[in-house]
């Protein structure tokens, strides 16, 4: 005879029911084990629908309850689970693992040039590559770059809002903060409001952020008027260029000075700094840090004089030893100790560097080089444009043509024709886009850099798992 | 003497900073001395699992203290930390873990599902270490339905079978509802054209298994939720895994009665059981009410 199971059917449940049913059943059966209960509790299947929208949140998640009320959303939180809580099969908890370790553990003796971290970065094409960063790379970044410019110590409170899995948050946030004994305030979930209140609550002295965060903070500050925290002695921006307007307004409102950094995962973050109030030039990435050498070279690797555009190459103790398990890519990128950045730019007579483009993003049309950045910067000045990205796409005859992806400002009317007319008025004919596509938003990475790769046709969404990808299918 | 490596960085800092605050997090303060002890325990714990100098240990965590514990714990052991984007999904994760040959991953409890699903494609990955309680799940009328089980461990020969049979129950139910070519990816999800249509998570406690699954009968209207949980516009479509729904695939959605019938019949067939609609017993009802009021109070 078949086993009898109970079916609990709850077609009009809510968020709390999803937590309450299974925990009540578990509690009942575990308690029942120790009591001489007359009726044993059966195996149970629960099928539930929902009559109200809601959020089920773990104990560590902060939910804006006011906003939830306004949206008429239930918020059900699960209680902090103790040791006896259900755990996912085939895993262990960090605390159980730590219980096997001792607080007297003696750190190993490790060569500073050994890999400490692999950071995966997406190139223009292909799968992410693992950039090998050594202990020396990180210590050099902390001591000879961060500290050279900012002199951090235990009196500093640093805002850790940038993701620590990214080179910028890791190499300029976490590691120098710990090295110099600062207080690091961790912000796990970015929202402009949360960031501003955190700066205020911890009386932050150092903010390390990306341009979009600075923009959001200004927008918030404009609405608040009063009570703008003015404790920040250092503000650093990186990851993407910052408009001068934003920089100036932020400095004024928050009474701070912003340094704009430039660097790559391959250089353990920053190699130069454009320091407002000190050595600053609009549109520049600044002069290289003292421990860094930077040059501009042509396609044959020959040095170019000031003012001429070529590839920027970098050497110094922050440069990676290469990509994990990728000797060919490593050899292509690092030649005689010089990292070839793939960024195109020039140096002026004062030793300031300027980036003009990514080498691989250049659009070549009828023998002319077209700078996507130049076209982007033009379209960006259109008053109804919120955001824009420009790439080269093949036309019917496989020749490269310019295509622009445009995000309109909220509530604005803007046609393809409007954008094209604007370009025709302001650009050489061969640079005018042949196609315009309107988008809701543009794909960006964690620091706000536009992911052009994802705009190209034939882009494969790697978040999907298809049956043919799995081993079971291969068998 | 200042540290030349990340291996000794925290112990050196603790030596000079002692009880000064290292980390501030949601009103808590964690001192350098505490950080030194915690990271030592992580290093020792990993060593106990057999992780050695030079081994790769992945970290998939947001900016919470456990990231710092994991990162410097791995450093103290001389292992190589591989932190990666918490928004990665599916093949992105498989590629990174396989490329670096990670032997362990330290991640959030709520990513267990993502990791479970890819683990069979990552032969090097021996240990999944979970922390934090940051589950975030949306439910919406006519969009999500949940199927849960609380059963004795003896129902299934092992956890893999619990996953597999649950997967088959849901697959057959979906087929009954008109979704033809969905498939079950072991320990993870039911997918259709690469996208998720249902998730399965099996947990254990004492002699019981708790199986949680959520199915999508229609597409989420996420705007409402994003007004409560702030997400910057450009990453909105990356926060949630690519999802599909019965509505999207078949052009219509079943009502609850039809859905119940399909799942119940499929469960009876695959488990060889008789299902009888029943209520909670008295003791369970007390527990249920207590849990409900607790979860709305927290």
Taking only the tens place, the pLDDT of each residue in B173-217 is: 999 999 999 999 888 899 999 899 999 999 999 899 999 999 999
A174: contact with B, CB 8 A cutoff: yes
pLDDT of residue B204: 92
Q: What is the pLDDT of residue B89?
A: 83
According to DSSP, the β-strands at B127-131 and A92-93 are parallel
> Which residue in A73, A101, A136 has the most chain B C-beta atoms within 10 A of its own C-beta, making it the best mutation to test that interface?
A101
**Which residues on chain B are in Cβ contact (under 8 Å) with A119?**
82-84
Contact B164, A448 (CB under 8 A): no
- Which residues of chain B make contact with A462, given a CB cutoff of 8 A? 89-92, 95
CA distance linking residue B53 with residue A202, whole number of Å: 37
**Residues in chain B closer than 8 A to A469 (CB atoms):** 91, 94, 121
- Asked whether the beta carbons of residue B188 and residue A465 sit closer than 8 angstroms, the reply is yes
CA distance B79 to B82: 10
Going along chain B from its start, the domains and CATH numbers come out as 9-131 (3.40.50.980), 144-272 (3.30.930.10)
A48 has pLDDT over 90:
yes
The DSSP code for A307 is: T
Q: Say yes or no for a CB contact (<8 Å) between B82 and A446.
A: no
Question: Which H or E element spans position A394?
Answer: strand A385-394
Looking at residues B80-90, what average pLDDT do you find?
Answer: 91
Residue of B nearest to A133 (CA): B80
Min distance A346 CA to chain B CA atoms (Å): 31
Helices and strands (DSSP H and E) totals, chain A = 14, 25
In this complex, do B63 and A127 lie within 8 Å of one another by their Cβ atoms? no
* Residues A193 and A161 sit within 8 Å (Cβ to Cβ): no
**Would you call B148 helix, strand, or coil by DSSP?**
strand
CA–CA distance, B180 with A10 (Å, rounded to integer): 27
Give the pLDDT of residue B233: 67
**Over chain A, what is the mean pLDDT?**
89
Q: How far apart are CA A301 and CA A175, in angstroms?
A: 34
Task: Tell me the chain A residues in contact with residue B61 when contact means C-beta distances shorter than 8 Å.
Answer: 164-165
B 140-169 residues inside an 8 A Cβ radius of A: 140-141, 143-152, 155, 159, 162
* Cβ under 8 Å to B: A residues 141-160: 143, 154, 157, 160
> Does the interface ipTM go beyond 0.95?
no
CB spacing of A165 vs B287 below 8 angstroms: no
Q: State residue B98's pLDDT score.
A: 97
**Residue B137 touches chain A, beta carbons under 8 Å:** yes
- CB B109 to CB A58 under 8 A? yes
Locate the chain B residue with the closest alpha carbon to A78: B295
The pLDDT value recorded for residue B110 is 85
Quick check: helix, strand or coil at residue A417? helix
Q: Does the beta-carbon distance from B140 to A128 stay under 8 Å?
A: no
Partners of residue A157 in chain B, C-beta under 8 Å:
24
Q: What gap in Å lies between CA A189 and CA A213, rounded to an integer?
A: 13
For tokens 């379209």, the residue is A379
What strands lie across the sheet with A435-438, from one edge to the other? A385-394, A400-408, A435-438
Structure confidence by residue, pLDDT tens digits, A304-357: 999 999 999 999 999 999 999 999 999 999 999 999 999 999 999 999 999 988
Of A396, A311, A212, A51, nearest to B234 by C-alpha is A212
Retrieve residue A200's tokens: 């205020």
Average pLDDT (A253-257) is 93
Quote the mean pLDDT of chain B: 93
**Mind listing the pLDDT tens digit for each residue in A179-232?**
999 999 999 888 898 899 999 999 999 999 999 899 999 989 888 766 889 999
CB contact under 8 A, A181 and B17: yes
Structure confidence by residue, pLDDT tens digits, A166-179: 999 999 999 999 99
Please report which confidence band the pLDDT of residue A126 belongs to, taking 50, 70 and 90 as the band edges: low
Task: Kindly report the nearest CA distance between residue A459 and chain B, in angstroms.
Answer: 14
A83 forms beta bridges with: none
Q: Is the pLDDT of residue B75 over 90?
A: yes
Q: What is the pLDDT of residue A471?
A: 62
Rounded Cα gap, residues A149 and A143, in angstroms: 10
Give the per-residue pLDDT at A475.
Answer: 47
* Partner residue opposite B44 with nearest CB, options A3, A100, A467: A100
Q: Which burial class, exposed, middle or buried, applies to A300 when counting CB atoms under 10 A from its CB (0-12, 13-18, 19+)?
A: exposed
Pairing of strands A129-134, A322-323: antiparallel
d(CA B132, CA A152): 31
**Which DSSP symbol is given to B245?**
-
Is residue B231 scored above 90 in pLDDT?
no
Chain B residues with CB-CB distance to A14 below 8 A: 139
All structural domains of chain A, each given as residue ranges with its CATH number in brackets, are 6-80 (no CATH), 115-291+319-333 (3.40.50.12780), 362-455 (3.30.300.30)
Give Cα B121 distance to the centre of its chain.
17
Helix (H), strand (E) counts: chain B: 11, 13
pLDDT score for B234: 65
Which is nearest to A291 in space by CA: A419, A395, A415, A147?
A147
Beta pairing partners, A206: A158, A234
Residue contact A467–B259, C-beta within 8 A: no
Cβ–Cβ below 8 Å for B273 and A43? yes
Chain segment A416-449, per-residue pLDDT in tens: 999 999 998 888 888 899 999 999 888 887 777 7
Contact call for residues A177 and A184 (beta carbons, < 8 A): yes
pTM (2 d.p.): 0.89
Percent of chain A with pLDDT over 90: 63
pLDDT at A82: 63
Backbone angles phi, psi at A325, to 5 degrees: 60, 25
Per cent of chain A over pLDDT 70 is 94
pLDDT at A370: 84
- Cα–Cα distance measured from residue B259 to residue B274, given in angstroms and rounded to the nearest whole number: 18
| 3-state class (DSSP) for residue A406 | strand
pLDDT reported for residue A385: 92
- With contact defined as beta carbons under 8 Å apart, do A344 and A359 qualify? yes
Coil, helix or strand at residue B288? helix
Helix (H, G, I), strand (E, B) or coil at A438: strand
Tokens for B42, please give them: 């992580």
Main-chain phi, psi angles of A402, to 5 degrees:
-85, 135
- The whole-angstrom separation of Cα B227 and Cα A189 is 14
Q: β-strands A115-121, A92-93: how paired? A: unpaired
Comparing alpha-carbon positions, the chain B residue that sits nearest to A163 is B63
Interface contact A170-B83, CB threshold 8 A: yes
A274: closest CA among A236, A248, A246, A306? Answer: A236
- The verdict on a CB contact (< 8 Å) between B281 and A41 is yes
Give, as one character, the DSSP assignment of residue A81. Answer: P
Mean local confidence (pLDDT), B41-65: 97
Helix (H, G, I), strand (E, B) or coil at B217: coil
For chain B, percent helix, then strand, then coil, each to nearest 5? 45, 25, 30
Q: What is the mean pLDDT of residues B245-274?
A: 96
Q: How confident is the model at residue A123 (pLDDT cuts 50, 70, 90)?
A: low
- Residue A299 is given by DSSP the state T
3-state secondary structure of A43: coil
Section B12-34 average pLDDT: 96
Q: What is the pLDDT of residues A127-155, one digit of tens each?
A: 789 999 999 999 999 999 999 999 999 99
Contact B229 A183 (CB under 8 A): no
- A21–B288 C-beta distance less than 8 A: yes
B81 contacts A118? CB cut-off 8 A: yes
Question: How many Cα atoms sit within 13 Å of A168 on the Cβ side?
Answer: 25
* pLDDT of B70: 98
> Could you read off the pLDDT of A81-115 as tens digits, one per residue?
665 678 888 899 999 999 999 999 999 999 999 99
- A107 and B89 within 8 Å at the Cβ level: the answer is no
74-113 of A, contacting B, C-beta below 8 A: 74-81, 84-95, 97-105, 107-110, 112
Mean pLDDT in residue range B138-157:
94
């Amino acid at each position: 005879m078949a086993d009898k199971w109970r079916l609990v059917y709850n077609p009009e449940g809510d968020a709390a029911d999803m937590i309450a049913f299974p925990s009540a059943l578990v509690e009942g059966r575990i308690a029942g084990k120790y009591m001489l209960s007359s009726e044993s509790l059966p195996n149970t299947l629960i099928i539930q629908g929902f009559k109200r929208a809601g959020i089920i949140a773990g104990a560590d998640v902060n939910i804006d309850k006011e906003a939830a009320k306004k949206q008429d959303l239930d918020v059900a939180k699960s209680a902090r689970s103790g040791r006896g809580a259900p755990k996912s099969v085939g895993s262990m908890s960090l605390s159980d693992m730590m219980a096997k370790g001792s607080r007297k553990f003696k750190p190993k003796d490790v060569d500073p040039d050994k890999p400490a971290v692999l950071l995966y970065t997406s190139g223009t094409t292909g799968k992410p590559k693992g950039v090998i960063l050594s202990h020396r790379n990180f210590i050099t970044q902390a001591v000879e770059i961060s500290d050279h410019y900012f002199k951090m110590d235990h009196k500093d409170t640093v805002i850790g809002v940038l993701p620590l899995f990214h080179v910028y948050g890791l190499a300029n946030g976490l590691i120098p903060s710990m090295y110099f004994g600062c207080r690091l305030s961790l912000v796990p979930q970015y929202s402009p409001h949360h960031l501003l209140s955190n700066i205020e609550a911890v009386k932050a002295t150092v903010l390390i952020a990306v341009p979009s965060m600075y923009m959001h903070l200004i927008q918030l500050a404009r609405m608040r008027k009063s009570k703008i925290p003015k404790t920040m002695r250092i503000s650093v921006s990186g990851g993407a260029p910052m408009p001068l307007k934003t920089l100036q307004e932020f400095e004024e409102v928050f009474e701070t000075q912003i340094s704009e950094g430039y660097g790559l995962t391959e250089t353990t973050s920053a190699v130069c700094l454009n320091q407002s109030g000190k050595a600053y030039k609009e549109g520049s990435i600044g002069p290289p840090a003292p421990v860094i050498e930077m040059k501009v070279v042509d396609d044959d690797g020959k040095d170019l004089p000031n003012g001429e555009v070529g590839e920027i190459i970098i050497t110094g103790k922050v440069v990676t030893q290469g990509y994990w398990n990728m000797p060919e890519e490593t050899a292509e990128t690092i030649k005689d100790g010089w990292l070839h950045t793939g960024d195109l730019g020039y140096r002026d007579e004062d030793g300031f560097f300027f980036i003009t483009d990514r080498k691989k993003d250049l659009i070549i049309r009828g023998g002319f080089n077209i700078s996507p950045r130049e076209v982007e910067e033009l379209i960006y000045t259109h008053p109804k444009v919120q955001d824009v990205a420009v790439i080269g796409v093949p036309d019917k005859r496989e020749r490269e043509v310019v295509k622009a992806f445009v995000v309109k400002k909220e509530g604005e009317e803007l046609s393809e024709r409007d954008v094209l007319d604007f370009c025709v008025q302001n650009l050489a004919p061969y640079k005018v886009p042949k196609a315009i596509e309107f988008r809701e938003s543009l794909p960006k990475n964690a620091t706000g850099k536009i992911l052009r790769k994802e705009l190209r046709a034939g882009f494969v969404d790697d978040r999907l798992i298809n049956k043919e990808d799995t081993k079971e299918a291969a068998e | 003497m200042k540290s030349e490596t990340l291996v000794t960085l925290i112990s050196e800092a603790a030596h000079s900073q002692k009880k000064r605050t290292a980390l501030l997090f949601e009103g808590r303060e964690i001192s350098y001395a505490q950080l030194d002890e915690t990271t030592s325990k992580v290093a020792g714990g990993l060593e106990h699992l057999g992780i050695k100098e030079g081994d790769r240990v992945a970290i998939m965590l947001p900016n919470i203290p456990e990231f710092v514990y994991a990162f410097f714990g791995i450093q103290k052991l001389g292992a190589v930390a591989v932190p990666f984007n918490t928004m990665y999904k599916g093949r992105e994760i498989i590629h990174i873990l396989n490329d670096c040959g990670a032997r362990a991953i330290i991640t959030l409890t709520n990513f267990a599902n993502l990791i479970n699903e890819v683990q069979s494609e990552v032969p090097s990955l021996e240990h999944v270490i979970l922390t934090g309680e940051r589950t975030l799940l949306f439910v919406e009328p006519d969009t999500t339905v949940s199927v849960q089980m609380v059963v004795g461990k003896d129902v299934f020969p092992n956890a893999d079978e619990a996953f597999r049979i649950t997967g088959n129950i849901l697959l057959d139910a979906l087929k009954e509802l008109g979704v033809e070519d969905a498939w079950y990816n072991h320990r993870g999800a039911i997918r259709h054209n690469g996208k998720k249509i249902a998730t399965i998570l099996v947990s254990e406690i004492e002699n019981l298994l708790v199986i949680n699954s959520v199915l999508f009968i229609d597409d989420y209207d996420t705007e409402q939720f994003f007004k409560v949980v702030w997400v910057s516009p450009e990453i909105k479509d990356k926060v949630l895994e690519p999802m599909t729904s019965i509505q999207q695939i078949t052009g219509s959605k079943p009502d609850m009665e039809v859905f119940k019938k399909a799942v119940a019949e499929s469960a009876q067939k695959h488990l060889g059981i008789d299902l009888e609609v029943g209520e909670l017993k008295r003791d369970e009802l007390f527990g249920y009410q207590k849990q409900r009021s607790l979860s709305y109070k927290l």
